[in-house]
Copies of this chain bind each other. A is one copy, B any other.
Amino acid sequence: MTQNLSIDSNRLWASILETAAFGATAKGGIRRLALSAEDAQVRAWFRSACEAIGCSVQIDSMGSMFARRPGRNPALAPIAIGSHLDTQPTGGKFDGVIGVLAGLEVLRRLHEAGIETEAPIELINWTNEEGARFAPAMLASGAFAGVFTEEYGHSRTDRDGIRFDDAMDAIAARGTAPLGHRLSAHFELHIEQGPILEEEGKTIGVVSGVQAIRWYEVTLSGSDGHAGATPMRLRRDALLGTARVIEAVNRIARAHAPDAVGTVGLIESKPNSRNVVPGDVFFSIDLRHPDDAVLAEMDISLRDAVAEIAAADGLGLALEQTWLSPAVHFDADCRARIAEAADAYGYGHRAIVSGAGHDSAYIARVAPTAMIFVPCAGGLSHNEAESATQNDVAAGANVLLHAVLATDRALGA
């Protein structure tokens, strides 16, 4: 019977549009930073929607939400569907959101079809995936997987100095469930956030893994000086040094084309006044490559380049690698079930490497895990104009449903 089951595309799409109101921006995107007032709104909506179909909702000490639909065999660890409802400061309506809401649609469909699975199904909203408010990204899924300690997670601060645990308490988002529990599998549907599926006309990406990521925080320190009266030869301009590092990051990424990427996304210059030579600049660097060894080479090139620039410009330098996420390879069985589900529907698919980090990258350390990608227009993401079609999102949700059911059958066999 479950072989012919499909999700309700219109209901899924309506839930995407409904929750997009929590933090909606004028340009059609979402600003819903982790543990903000807008995040509190969507979290309340999520709990209510899950409870309405008979799920119990538990929250762990990092604020991650677990909505559980019981199975026939309580001895089996749940099959998880997880992603995140937080967004970038100028994020879109799809990144993270469709993974959670497609999971909700799967639960709703199972509920109304009266299907009892062998294992419990657990729908998860991971806290602070984006890392936009609290670095590093994927903080709560990392804590769940034992990559970070709870103390580390709680003590992260945003750029205003607010601690993660205080932000959690400010919106009553802290739960009492213990951090980490067994999962039989973890599936995550996500937009590709890149151009490949669209370019090749494929509906489904069977994600083979996630590229390795390194994050850095850099401060260059020169000397504030009057912009009119400080001769060029006497300047120690931290922003000029930063400009040179930005150029170097671009050069290093392009030297490892086509797979490498390098980005300076965050910059804060002080005192940030029109007629003062900037004496102090703080900025972030993000380097990624599918191959750990190549990323390690890029790391060396980066450190050499930054040190050289700082020395040449007479600038003080503090460079800290704040995050290293090794390359991830997803579970073969889970990937096969995704490909089979896509074949059953006749959706075109291909294997693909994720350029972005995802909660699944950490959960893969503690449970069989895989991801499903669907195309997004122009590969655009972390952007208010981020866009995916109703048909593609529905296709991804159908694949998710059947990959979960196939996993459940395997557990029951």
**Which residues of A does B touch, CB under 8 Å?**
88-90, 95, 130-132, 135, 137, 192-195, 211, 213, 215, 223-234, 237, 239-240, 242-244, 246-247, 250, 253-254, 257-258, 260-279, 284, 286, 288, 354-357, 379-384
Q: Given the complex of chains A and B, what is the CA–CA distance between A229 and B233 in angstroms?
A: 41
Q: Given the complex of chains A and B, what is the CA–CA distance between A131 and B253 in angstroms?
A: 39
Q: Is the CB of B357 within 8 A of A215?
A: no
Contacts of A284 in B (CB 8 A): 274
Contacts of A357 in B (CB 8 A): 228, 275
Q: Is the CB of B243 within 8 A of A356?
A: no
Contacts of A254 in B (CB 8 A): 232
Give the shortest distance, in Å, between A118 (CB) and chain B (any CB): 35
Interface of A: prevailing SS: loop
Most buried by B among A266, A267, A274: A274
Contacts of A380 in B (CB 8 A): 223-225, 230
Q: Given the complex of chains A and B, what is the CA–CA distance between A357 and B260 in angstroms?
A: 46
Q: Is the CB of A243 within 8 A of B247?
A: yes
A229-B194, A230-B194, A260-B232 as given contacts; A274 in contact with B239, CB under 8 Å: no
9 more contacts with CB within 8 A, not counting A247-B247, A266-B274, are A88-B275, A130-B273, A130-B275, A225-B380, A225-B381, A228-B261, A240-B250, A265-B272, A266-B269
